């Protein structure tokens, strides 16, 4: 292994086109605003009957928050990690322990902190655990680091089984404490407020909470990528020796990337707990909420989205996390995959095919992932952007914004 | 630990119960309230029209339990066909809406809200992990569900309608049977291999209770559902000198334990409960080692001479000629029979709402499935509705691979055992 | 003592198969610097064909077809996909193999899903008992076959033209090309050999003796356990793969008994982690130089 992870493409966004200027930016802002309005109105659009689709959308946001964290680590800082599910587990258990009702039972540790504090605490906890792994991560590169990080998934499985005073154990797990903000509970209530005739109950409230989490994650990550932190990540990724000679403290930067990525995963873990209403460690390492399958799924999110691209991770999450759930709903509602029963193609199998194939196709034909495709589409419309982007190069190396 | 989460959950249930007084039954978004009077002056809310009663299945026909799941679904459907042919219940036909979650909790979590508004209750809910994930929903929606998993740890929820006895009692009765047969003596050491989870943990409770009564020492080994090679564990148990090995495992693990039992020259009797055996094991290289297995189950084996079982399995073979033969069929049918009793009682009381059927369940003291399972009594909350089991031994010549060696019986230890949420 | 000896025998038998798998990782890595995450699915392809054809061709015939098919599948992955990738970066190519792995695994598992996919090995479930010690025939044969194949490979690697060419390429790809070594042929052979080894390994893996289960997701997972074996020994060291395989087999068997069964899988990864922290390129791996 003589190289670090070098993503073939990276700019998180199309670089600003110096001359096309105001008009284009305006268009982009309008498009983004329209998207946010649609997301805000989603509970109304699907109605109270479409809660299943709201669950699906929530699930995508879990993937997006986790995926953003991983794309920073793998794409921006060049550290391959398959440990993401472990940090999700730490986040979920951390939230349950911090916010759990101490009275709930004598055998479970619950500190009874306000849920918001517990969420922040769980995120910080994940960051610290990530920091603890940083000395190992700092010594290893590329695939060696990838496989080493895999050991955390196995460790998580074992810890989840053994430390049942925290995790609730694999048999029944423990309740995920209801999220609450300034006395407003993210649970069903009677009467419920309504928007355009749609009752805003637990799932609708969770949607808005998740949306807030996801938007915060998105902008924080974009901010980090465009700041000095992001530049130091890319310097270390591209050439450690050169980065050192430029005065970058390589060890610290690598550790920092691990901490930040773990923190995002921790938030995704809290969201998973709220989504499932349950914190429960997996029974085995292949399938489950915090399993190897999830590790691969997150990696697929960042590859398909384009290594290092924050918006790409969101699109990747929509494909990887959304598709399976969408197929499942379709199979239920429209009778797709009706022959799944005995060795036919089930929704799970088909969605695995789709994202497996997407990984292969992306690396074969468009190593920059969806982010690069998006960039090309926008730059085709505006020749100025293209030249700013470095002429006709398809895989620009610089990560400016 | 288990009791731990349960305690919290009981509080949740208590809260939900009081709130349902206000809400009556409601969907997860609680935009409908109260029941309406339907045909025949019967109160109805979700899943019941003037002509139909819709029940749901959340089953597994694509995951690890797909053989069992297919049998269960078929059993449910056979029951519905019977009822409908006889004119339905309460003047209404039974319809079943099926969801396949592939034994994945997250998948079930997504599909549940789609199914929930259409059904009165669940005629079958397969899988301990799925049940654990959906339990808050079931409580919130005031749903009555028959789980296709038999842990006494879930009986704190009055919405759980256990069909037959529970894993802990299967093991207690099974050990008692082995001791009656002279295969086990007071003071012996036994091994227990169990899947970490509601299933295995509940089985272990059974052997712990029996061990305490008879001064046995238990050599425990915890596994996950995907550890298929148990040779190492059996090697260790041989070293510990066990006289009996108890299994609360998957069928694949059962085969491995039995193969090692024979290969290592240990050759002790092995006791498994209902889900440990699948007739398909008879086609594996371990087939020759399966003879040591005793299966203790609350439902009659596929080949049981019980006339009702014969009737159901015969019809199954006609209707689904190419499908696997396993005990899921009779179990699925039994689930239907219990639902039938519940619906008839609810109809009599004039309330086919969700709250109505839950109340109706507690009035049932003698549900008779003609011996498919023991007579069921749902009047004492928290207690398993029966304690009786069938004991069967592996026999390649029997249909479904099991031959009944002891008809329905309950051991004295089984009678005296207090289940986790049993009152008194 | 009996228990300990028995565990030692079990562990070594499994270690031999892990070594065969780990050697596959190493051969491909040495020739191309790509880590083949799809190794587990090569195992599945071989096993699946044996399973499907054993009734028609007999077990031995089906086994030969399975080994050849696994080898050709490996070659196909290299020729059709990796060779055509826009990005020649080794790490991207490793990720590409993950995509391939996801697809093949799902498809094979789907195909065998409804059955009990034991592949009918004639030596399965026929233990040899010597006193209190039981030797599982599958593992004994695996040990012998593993020893023969690995020795043959190491000899070929050292003395044959192909071995020399491959070592030269591993040492310095450009210089090797200048010396007239056909990189493409060396690479192709490496994938073929690794695929064949995977095809052989599955003949021992999908047995009652070895894994307690037929072909399926579990078989694929065993190949994943061989990953720590390869990494532990050093990804570019053939001898390391053998040592790594045996270490993993023994760690698994002994920690399951003396610590706890559920800890045994973590134990394998923790041993690997400790080795990596002390020697970041594995026990026998070439130390990587920082390039400026």
- The DSSP secondary structure of A244-261, one letter per residue, reads HHTT--HHHHHHHHHHHH
- Select the residue from C7, C120, C208, C264 to test the B interface by mutation, using most B Cβ atoms within 10 A: C208
The answer, for A286 touching chain B at a CB cutoff of 8 Å, is: yes
- CB proximity list for C178: less than 8 A, separation 6 or greater: none
Query: Tokens in use for A249?
Result: 């403290």
CB contact under 8 A, C98 and A154: no
Residue count (chain A):
401
**Chain B, nearest residue to A338 by Cα:** B100
Query: Tokens in use for A396?
Result: 């620009």
In DSSP terms, B409 is beta-bridged to B389
The whole-number pLDDT of residue A386 equals: 37
A241 CB neighbours in chain C (<8 A) are 290-292
- CB proximity list for B78: less than 8 A, separation 6 or greater: B312, B315, B316, B319, B329, B332, B333, B336
The whole-number pLDDT of residue B72 equals: 92
Tell me whether residue B424 is in a domain. Answer: no
Task: Indicate if B285 and B326 belong to the same structural domain.
Answer: no
Of C3, C121, C221, the CB nearest to B239: C3
Over residues C256-281, mean pLDDT = 87
The answer, for A300 touching chain C at a CB cutoff of 8 Å, is: yes
Task: Indicate if B327 and B291 belong to the same structural domain.
Answer: no
Over residues C50-62, mean pLDDT = 93
Whether residue A104 has pLDDT greater than 80: no
A147 versus A340: the higher-pLDDT residue is A147
The answer, for C253 touching chain B at a CB cutoff of 8 Å, is: yes
| A329 and A57 Cβ atoms separated by less than 8 Å | no
CB contact under 8 A, A332 and B4: no
The whole-number pLDDT of residue A200 equals: 84
Q: How many Cβ atoms from other residues are within 10 Å of residue C58's Cβ?
A: 12
The answer, for A303 touching chain C at a CB cutoff of 8 Å, is: yes
| B404 and B303 Cβ atoms separated by less than 8 Å | yes
Over residues A13-34, mean pLDDT = 68
In this predicted structure, which of A228-242, A386-400, C239-253 has the lowest mean pLDDT? A386-400
| A341 and B61 Cβ atoms separated by less than 8 Å | yes
In this predicted structure, which of A366-375, B78-87, C65-74, C267-276 has the lowest mean pLDDT? A366-375
CB contact under 8 A, A104 and B114: no
* C-alpha closest to that of B149 among B176, B128, B123: B128
Average confidence score pLDDT of chain C: 87
CA A153 to CA B420: how far, in whole Å?
Answer: 33
Last residue of a domain, one of B362, B378, B403: B362
- CB proximity list for A205: less than 8 A, separation 6 or greater: A186, A187
Q: Residue A212's Cα: distance from chain center in Å?
A: 14
pLDDT tens, position by position, B238-279: 999 999 999 999 888 999 999 999 999 999 999 998 888 888
- Give the DSSP per-residue string, B350-398: TB-SHHHHHHHHHT-S-B--TTSS--B--SSTTS-S---EEEEEE-TTS
pLDDT tens, position by position, C186-196: 889 999 999 99
CA C52 to CA C72: how far, in whole Å?
Answer: 17
List the B244-248 sheet strands across, edge first.
Answer: B217-223, B189-195, B244-248, B270-273, B293-297, B389-394, B402-409
Task: Indicate if B10 and B71 belong to the same structural domain.
Answer: yes
Q: pTM of the predicted model, to two decimals? A: 0.84
The whole-number pLDDT of residue A275 equals: 92
Query: Tokens in use for B257?
Result: 């334990």
Over residues A55-70, mean pLDDT = 95
Whether residue A236 has pLDDT greater than 80: yes
Tell me whether residue B376 is in a domain. Answer: no
Whether residue A385 has pLDDT greater than 50: no
- CB proximity list for B236: less than 8 A, separation 6 or greater: B219, B221, C3, C257
CA C7 to CA C255: how far, in whole Å?
Answer: 10
Q: Which of A347-361, B172-186, C168-182 has maximum average pLDDT?
A: B172-186
pLDDT tens, position by position, C85-100: 766 677 788 889 989 9
Task: Indicate if B39 and B66 belong to the same structural domain.
Answer: yes
Helix (H, G, I), strand (E, B) or coil at B133: helix
B281 CB neighbours in chain C (<8 A) are 116
C1 pLDDT band, cuts 50/70/90, is low
Domain CATH code at residue B43: 3.40.50.2300
Residue extents of the structural domains in chain A: 21-388
CB contact under 8 A, C100 and A360: yes
Whether residue A399 has pLDDT greater than 50: no
Q: Residue A291's Cα: distance from chain center in Å?
A: 15
The answer, for A79 touching chain B at a CB cutoff of 8 Å, is: no
Burial (CB < 10 A; 0-12, 13-18, 19+), residue A381, is exposed
B7/chain A closest Cα distance in angstroms: 6
Domain span at B186: 167-297+389-416
Task: Indicate if B269 and B216 belong to the same structural domain.
Answer: yes
What share of chain C in percent tops pLDDT 90?
A: 38
C177 pLDDT band, cuts 50/70/90, is confident
Phi, psi of A354 (to 5 degrees): -65, -45
Task: Indicate if B260 and B393 belong to the same structural domain.
Answer: yes
Enumerate the H helices of C113-172 as residue ranges.
137-159, 161-171
Phi, psi of B169 (to 5 degrees): -75, -30
CB contact under 8 A, A169 and B196: yes
B223 CB neighbours in chain C (<8 A) are 261-262
The answer, for C113 touching chain B at a CB cutoff of 8 Å, is: yes
Tell me whether residue B206 is in a domain. Answer: yes
Tell me whether residue B351 is in a domain. Answer: yes
Task: Indicate if B131 and B8 belong to the same structural domain.
Answer: yes
Any idea of the CA torsion for A44, A47, A51, A52, to the nearest 10 degrees? -100
CA B340 to CA B359: how far, in whole Å?
Answer: 14
CA atoms within 13 Å, Cβ hemisphere of C171: 12
CB contact under 8 A, C87 and A367: yes
A127 pLDDT band, cuts 50/70/90, is very high
Per-window interface: A 318-337 vs B, CB < 8 A? 325, 328-329, 331-333
The whole-number pLDDT of residue A338 equals: 58
Q: Give the number of domains in chain B.
A: 2
The whole-number pLDDT of residue A398 equals: 37
A288 pLDDT band, cuts 50/70/90, is confident
CA A397 to CA A307: how far, in whole Å?
Answer: 12
Pick out chain B residues at pLDDT < 50: 1-10, 15-33
| CA-to-CA separations, A349 to A115, A356, B311, in angstroms, rounded | 37, 10, 37
Q: Helix A142-162 to helix C90-112 angle, to the nearest 10 degrees?
A: 50
Task: Indicate if B197 and B130 belong to the same structural domain.
Answer: no
Task: Indicate if B171 and B118 belong to the same structural domain.
Answer: no
The answer, for A56 touching chain B at a CB cutoff of 8 Å, is: yes
Whether residue A116 has pLDDT greater than 70: yes
pLDDT tens, position by position, A183-230: 888 888 877 788 888 888 888 999 999 999 999 999 999 999 999 999
- CB proximity list for C148: less than 8 A, separation 6 or greater: none
The whole-number pLDDT of residue B107 equals: 77
* C-alpha closest to that of B313 among B297, B300, B329, B328: B329
What share of chain A in percent tops pLDDT 90?
A: 35
CA C73 to CA C108: how far, in whole Å?
Answer: 14
Tell me whether residue B148 is in a domain. Answer: yes
Average confidence score pLDDT of chain A: 82
CA atoms within 13 Å, Cβ hemisphere of C204: 27
The answer, for C61 touching chain B at a CB cutoff of 8 Å, is: no
A106 CB neighbours in chain B (<8 A) are 4
Sign of the CA dihedral with A324 first, then A327, A329, and A335 last: negative
CA C199 to CA C183: how far, in whole Å?
Answer: 24
Tell me whether residue B9 is in a domain. Answer: yes
Neighbours of chain C (3+ CB pairs under 8 A): A, B
Name the DSSP letter for residue B420. Answer: T
CB contact under 8 A, B62 and A348: yes
Query: Tokens in use for A261?
Result: 């990525």
In this predicted structure, which of A35-39, B29-33, C273-277 has the lowest mean pLDDT? B29-33
C99 CB neighbours in chain A (<8 A) are 300, 303, 355-360, 363
CB contact under 8 A, B235 and C124: no
- Select the residue from A70, A137, A148 to test the C interface by mutation, using most C Cβ atoms within 10 A: A148
CB contact under 8 A, C208 and B286: yes
Ramachandran category for residue A21: left, alpha or beta (phi over 0 → left; psi -120 to 50 → alpha): left
The whole-number pLDDT of residue C78 equals: 92
The whole-number pLDDT of residue A336 equals: 67
The whole-number pLDDT of residue B5 equals: 44
Helix (H, G, I), strand (E, B) or coil at B201: helix
The whole-number pLDDT of residue B244 equals: 97
The whole-number pLDDT of residue B41 equals: 78
Tell me whether residue B372 is in a domain. Answer: no
The answer, for B8 touching chain C at a CB cutoff of 8 Å, is: no
Tell me whether residue B226 is in a domain. Answer: yes
B288/chain A closest Cα distance in angstroms: 27
Phi, psi of C119 (to 5 degrees): -100, 15
Enumerate the H helices of A334-368 as residue ranges.
347-365
Task: Indicate if B244 and B344 belong to the same structural domain.
Answer: no
CB contact under 8 A, C103 and A356: yes
A168 CB neighbours in chain B (<8 A) are 1, 4-5
């Amino acid at each position: 292994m003589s190289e670090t992870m070098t993503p073939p493409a990276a700019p998180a966004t199309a670089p600003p086109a110096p001359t096309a200027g105001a008009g284009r930016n305006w268009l982009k802002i309008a498009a983004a605003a329209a998207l946010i309005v649609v997301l805000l109105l989603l509970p109304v659009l699907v109605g109270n009957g479409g809660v299943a689709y709201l669950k699906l959308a929530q699930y995508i946001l879990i993937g997006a928050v986790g995926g953003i964290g991983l794309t920073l680590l793998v794409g921006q800082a060049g550290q391959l990690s398959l440990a993401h599910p472990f940090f999700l587990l730490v986040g979920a258990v951390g939230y349950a322990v911090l916010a759990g009702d101490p009275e709930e039972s004598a055998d479970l540790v619950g500190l009874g902190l306000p849920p918001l504090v517990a969420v922040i605490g769980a995120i910080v906890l994940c960051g610290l655990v990530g920091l603890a792994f940083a000395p190992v991560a700092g010594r290893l590169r590329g695939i060696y680091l990838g496989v080493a990080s895999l050991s955390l998934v196995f460790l998580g499985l074992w810890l989840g089984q053994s430390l049942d005073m925290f995790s609730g154990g694999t048999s029944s797990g423990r309740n995920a404490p209801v999220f609450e903000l300034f006395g407003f509970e993210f649970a069903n209530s009677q009467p419920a407020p309504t928007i355009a005739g749609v009752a805003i109950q637990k799932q609708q409230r969770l949607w808005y909470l998740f949306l807030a989490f996801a938007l915060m994650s998105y902008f924080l990550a974009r901010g980090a990528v465009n700041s000095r932190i992001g530049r130091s990540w890319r310097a270390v990724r591209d050439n450690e020796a050169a980065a050192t000679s430029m005065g970058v403290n390589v060890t610290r930067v690598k550790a920092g990337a691990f901490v930040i990525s773990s923190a995002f995963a921790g938030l995704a873990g809290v969201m998973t707990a709220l989504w499932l209403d349950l914190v429960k460690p997996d029974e085995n390492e292949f399938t489950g909420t915090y399993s190897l399958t999830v590790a691969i799924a997150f990696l697929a999110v960042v590859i398909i989205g384009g290594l290092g691209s924050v918006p790409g991770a969101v699109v990747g999450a929509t494909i990887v996390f959304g598709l399976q759930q969408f197929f499942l709903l379709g199979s239920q509602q429209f009778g797709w995959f009706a022959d799944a029963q005995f060795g036919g193609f089930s929704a799970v199998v088909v969605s695995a095919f789709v994202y497996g194939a997407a990984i292969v196709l992306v690396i074969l034909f468009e190593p920059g992932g969806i982010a690069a495709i998006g960039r090309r589409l926008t730059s085709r419309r505006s020749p100025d952007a293209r030249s700013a982007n470095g002429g006709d190069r398809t895989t620009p190396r610089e990560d400016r914004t | 630990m288990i009791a731990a989460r349960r305690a919290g959950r009981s509080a949740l249930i208590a809260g939900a119960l009081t709130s349902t007084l206000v809400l009556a039954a409601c969907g997860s978004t609680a935009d409908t309230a109260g029941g309406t009077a339907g045909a025949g002056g019967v109160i109805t809310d979700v899943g019941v029209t003037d002509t139909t009663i819709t029940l749901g299945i959340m089953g597994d026909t694509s995951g690890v339990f797909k053989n069992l799941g297919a049998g269960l679904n078929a059993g449910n459907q056979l029951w519905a066909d019977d009822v409908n042919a006889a004119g339905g219940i309460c003047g209404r036909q039974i319809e079943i809406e099926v969801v396949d979650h592939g034994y994945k909790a997250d998948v079930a979590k997504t599909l549940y809200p789609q199914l929930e508004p259409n059904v009165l209750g669940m005629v079958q809910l397969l899988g301990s992990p799925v049940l654990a994930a959906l339990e808050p929903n079931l409580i919130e929606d005031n749903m009555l569900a028959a789980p296709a998993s038999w842990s006494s740890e879930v009986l704190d929820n009055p919405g759980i309608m256990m069909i037959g006895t529970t894993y802990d009692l299967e093991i207690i009765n099974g050990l008692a049977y082995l001791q009656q047969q002279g295969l086990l003596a007071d003071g012996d050491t036994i091994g227990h291999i169990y899947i970490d989870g509601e299933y295995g943990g509940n089985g272990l409770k059974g052997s712990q209770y029996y061990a305490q009564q008879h001064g046995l020492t238990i050599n425990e080994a915890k596994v996950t559902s995907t550890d298929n090679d148990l040779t190492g564990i059996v090697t260790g148990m041989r070293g510990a000198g066990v006289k009996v090995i108890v299994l609360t495992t998957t069928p694949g693990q059962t085969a491995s334990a039995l193969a090692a039992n024979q290969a290592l020259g240990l050759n002790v009797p092995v006791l498994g409960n209902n889900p440990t055996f699948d007739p398909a094991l008879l086609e594996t290289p371990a087939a020759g080692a399966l003879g040591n297995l005793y299966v203790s189950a609350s439902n009659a084996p596929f080949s049981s001479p019980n006339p009702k079982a014969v009737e159901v399995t015969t019809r199954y073979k006609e209707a689904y000629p190419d499908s696997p033969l396993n005990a899921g069929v009779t179990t699925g049918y039994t689930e239907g029979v219990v639902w039938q009793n519940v619906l008839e009682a609810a109809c009599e009381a004039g309330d086919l709402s969700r709250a109505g059927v839950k109340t109706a369940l507690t009035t049932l003291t003698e549900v008779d499935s003609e011996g498919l399972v023991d007579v069921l009594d749902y009047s004492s909350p928290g207690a398993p509705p029966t304690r009786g089991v069938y004991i069967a031994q592996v026999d390649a010549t029997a249909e479904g691979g099991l031959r009944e060696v002891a008809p329905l019986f309950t051991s004295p230890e089984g009678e005296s055992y207090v289940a986790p949420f049993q009152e008194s | 003592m009996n228990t300990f000896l028995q565990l030692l025998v079990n562990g070594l038998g499994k270690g031999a198969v892990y070594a065969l798998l780990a050697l596959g990782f190493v051969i491909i890595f040495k020739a191309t610097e790509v880590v083949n995450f799809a190794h587990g699915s090569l195992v599945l392809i071989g096993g699946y064909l044996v399973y499907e054809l054993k009734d028609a061709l007999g077990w031995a015939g089906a086994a030969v077809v399975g080994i050849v098919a696994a080898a050709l599948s490996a070659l196909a992955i290299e020729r059709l996909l990796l060779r055509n990738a826009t990005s020649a970066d080794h790490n991207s190519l490793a990720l590409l193999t993950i995509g391939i792995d996801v697809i093949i695994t799902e498809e094979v598992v789907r195909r065998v899903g409804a059955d009990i996919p034991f592949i009918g090995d004639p030596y399965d479930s026929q233990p040899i008992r010597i006193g209190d010690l039981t030797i599982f025939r599958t593992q004994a044969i695996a040990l012998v076959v593993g020893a023969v194949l690995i020795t043959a490979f190491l000899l070929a690697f050292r003395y044959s033209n192909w071995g020399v060419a491959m070592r030269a390429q591993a040492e310095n790809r450009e210089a090797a090309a200048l010396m007239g070594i056909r990189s493409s042929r060396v690479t192709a052979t490496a994938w073929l050999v690794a695929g064949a080894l995977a095809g052989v390994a599955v003949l021992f893996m999908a047995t009652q003796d070895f894994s307690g289960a037929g072909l399926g997701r579990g078989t694929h997972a065993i190949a994943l356990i061989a990953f720590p074996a390869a990494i532990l020994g050093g990804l570019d060291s053939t001898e390391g793969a053998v040592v790594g395989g045996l270490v993993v087999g023994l760690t698994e068997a002994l920690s399951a008994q003396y610590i706890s069964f559920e800890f045994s899988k973590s134990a394998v990864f923790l041993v690997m982690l400790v080795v990596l922290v002390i020697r970041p390129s594995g026990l026998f791996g070439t130390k990587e130089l920082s390039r400026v």
